[in-house]
Amino acid sequence: MKIRILKHELNESIQHVSKAISSRTTIPILTGIKLEVNFQGMTLTASDTDISIQAFIPAEDHDKQIVQIERPGSVVLPAKFFVEIIKKLPSQEIEMEVKDGFQTLIRSGSTDIQMVGLDPEEFPVLPSIEEDQIIMIPGDLLKNMIKQTAFSISTNETSPILTGILWNLSDNHFKFVATDRHRLASRTAVLADADDIRFSNIVISGKTLNELSKIIPDQNTMIEIVVADNQVLFKIDRILFYTRILDGTYPDTSKIIPTTYKTELVLDTKKLADSIDRAYLLSREEKTNIVRLQTMEDGTIEISSSSSELGKVTEQLEVAKFEGDPLRISFNSKYMLDVLKVVESQQLHIGFTGAMSPIIIKPLDDSQSLYLILPYRTTN
């Protein structure tokens, strides 16, 4: 293999595929990035067996020469060094040549680097996927759905299924659900062209979806999603992103979501977030994060928290609407702040069915999102 390639394009593709490199792998070849060159351009591939990412750099794009190919070929280069060194090369053009025994020469300006490459034949083949179930979704919508649910996944590896986000699709309604048993986030989107497609219990690692989110461009690109038996493939421009579906059955969370409430509040999202943020400062010192919310006789609510060493914070908040029974409830302020950070609506509807029942939070102008937080039992 012998090529000349523009540094910016090579570096961008390396940054994308390197998200699939795991430092924990026991398979030496997977610590590398596979480069394959033919006369159409260069393909880079990285994998950690759970996710695989492939990026293609065309030889030409809009009459601009990106890769000059003298001799096609392939090699696997150690990712850790390759990712860092390409970023730091001095010239905007890079020359690469693979010699006998996969010894690779990289030249840029007056810099010469020799790298020990590995045999590309040892690199695992990407999964072959039946392209029967394909959905299209705008990139910014997919990014939003991930952001508005991923914070609720479990970080506890003893229940691997809860480290993922559950996907269901039926009647054009594409739904994400995430829970760690203490809180829950769900977000639904209506897809235009998914009339005949149905699937359920597709669970994808939240960590993986966060990595995917970083690759989705800011401009509104359409993302193609292919759902197969044990893999999901995302096609984003010239990038293919494969991920394994988590094994197991996701718990049925529909039964824990109440449909009627004893107490209902409508509040300003930002004012509530600021108030809880101030109360969180004290509750954090106690290592409990507990904040109390109490309805007052004058129709306001009181937010309070205390620390045995620092003291107490109490403040009153105006309420846009208050219906139902008086209430005093305690909850994890960090969980509440996580919700308030991703809510885009100016006002929130919060429903309570009692001091020890789930708190349900819904953005007022968005019927597609729902958040649930379990309250704390406190002695005072």
| Helix, strand, coil in percent for the chain, rounding step 5 | 25, 45, 35
pLDDT at position 49, please? 85
Helix (H) or strand (E) holding 184: strand 183-190
For tokens 């403040």, name the residue.
315
Six-digit token string for 330: 């305690």
Nearest to 307 by CA among 329, 330, 282, 287: 282
Question: Cα dist. 161→127, 142, 165, 200, 358 in Å?
Answer: 22, 21, 8, 14, 22
Count of Cβ atoms closer than 10 Å to residue 47 Cβ: 26
Which helix (H) or strand (E) segment is 74 a member of? strand 73-78
Global pTM?
0.94
pLDDT of residue 224: 97
The number of beta carbons lying within 10 Å of the beta carbon of residue 240 is 20
User: Residue 254, Cβ neighbours under 10 Å: how many?
Assistant: 8
Phi, psi at residue 281, to the nearest 5°? -55, -40
Residue 223, both tokens:
């993302």
Residues 6+ positions from 37 with CB-CB distance below 8 Å: 1, 3, 43, 67, 69, 72, 73, 74
Residue 303 is given by DSSP the state: E
How many other CB atoms sit within 10 Å of the CB of residue 38? 13
Q: What is the DSSP-derived secondary structure letter of residue 358?
A: -
Q: Which residues of 64-73 are buried (b: 16+ CB within 10 A; e: fewer)?
A: eebbebeeeb
Q: What is the pLDDT of residue 323?
A: 95
pLDDT values of the chain reduced to their tens digit, one per residue, 380 residues: 999 999 999 999 999 999 999 888 888 999 999 999 999 999 999 999 899 999 999 999 989 999 999 999 999 999 999 999 999 999 999 999 999 999 999 999 999 999 999 999 999 999 899 999 999 999 999 999 999 999 999 999 899 999 999 999 999 999 999 999 999 999 999 998 888 899 999 999 999 999 999 999 988 899 999 999 899 999 999 999 999 999 999 999 998 999 899 999 999 999 999 999 999 998 888 788 999 999 999 999 999 999 888 899 999 999 999 999 999 999 999 999 999 999 999 999 999 998 899 999 999 988 899 999 999 987 55
Query: Which pair of tokens denotes residue 55?
Result: 């990026």
Residue with tokens 């609407």: 321
Q: Where are the alpha helices (DSSP H) in the chain?
A: 7-17, 79-88, 139-150, 206-215, 269-285, 333-342
